[in-house]
Amino acid sequence: MKKSKQPKEKKQRSKILAPLGDVGDWLYSNIVKKHFLSPQNFLVDDKKYKADGIGMVGSPACGDMMIVWIKVDKKSQRIKECKWRTFGCASAIASTSIMSVMVTEKGGMELSKAIHLKPEQIVDRLGGLPDRKFHCSVLGQDALRNAVEDYLVNEKTSK
């Protein structure tokens, strides 16, 4: 019975505390923590990986750099697979991880939707990010858009 009460409380707390970057006993939200500690869909070796589109943003000098690889189902124009690698802080890693989950769940996100994915959607799914970490979600969304655009260009040239 305790369990059913807890999530409600936590949601409220994260709303209030998220801008301060201090949620519960951890630095960021529990979802950020989960995706930071067990990141989903990252790609260790890209040499053998055949992607339909690749997107890259940021630079190590700026402190954040992301690469995103996508595979696309050509019939449905949905994202089948989304792999990534990130150099960056906990929220950058969590942003890319959750983004890769968001675009591949429920049969995959349509390209038309993926290209317009908003950073705010990533932040919402993460249960909030402190203001100064908002750019992490922007980078995730940029990398995805670049990958989709890369796929569309590849498609055009192959036709």
Span interacting with other proteins, options 9-17, 82-90, 103-111, 149-157, rule CB under 8 A: 82-90
User: Contact between 129 and other proteins (CB under 8 A)?
Assistant: no
* Subset of residues 17 to 56 that bind other proteins, contact rule: CB under 8 A: 27, 36-37, 39, 42, 44, 56
Task: Check if 136 is active-site.
Answer: yes
User: Contact between 62 and other proteins (CB under 8 A)?
Assistant: yes
Considering the complex, what minimum distance in angstroms separates the CB of residue 1 from other proteins?
30
Task: Check if 89 is active-site.
Answer: no
User: Contact between 66 and other proteins (CB under 8 A)?
Assistant: yes
Query: What gap in Å lies between CA 1 and CA 115, rounded to an integer?
Result: 42
Q: Which residue has the tokens 């983004």?
A: 99
Cα end-to-end span (Å), the chain: 59
Span interacting with other proteins, options 6-14, 80-88, 101-109, 121-129, rule CB under 8 A: 80-88
Considering the complex, what minimum distance in angstroms separates the CB of residue 127 from other proteins?
16
Q: 106: exposed, middle or buried (C-beta count within 10 Å: 0-12, 13-18, 19+)?
A: exposed
65 sits in which H/E element: strand 64-73
78: helix, strand or coil: strand
Q: Which residue has the tokens 């992607």?
A: 51
User: Contact between 87 and other proteins (CB under 8 A)?
Assistant: yes
Our CB check for other proteins shows the closer of 28 and 78 to be 28
Span interacting with other proteins, options 10-18, 85-93, 101-109, 121-129, rule CB under 8 A: 85-93
User: Contact between 152 and other proteins (CB under 8 A)?
Assistant: no
User: Contact between 144 and other proteins (CB under 8 A)?
Assistant: no
Strand partners, 57: 66
Sheet-wide strand order for 78-87: 53-59, 64-73, 78-87
55: helix, strand or coil: strand
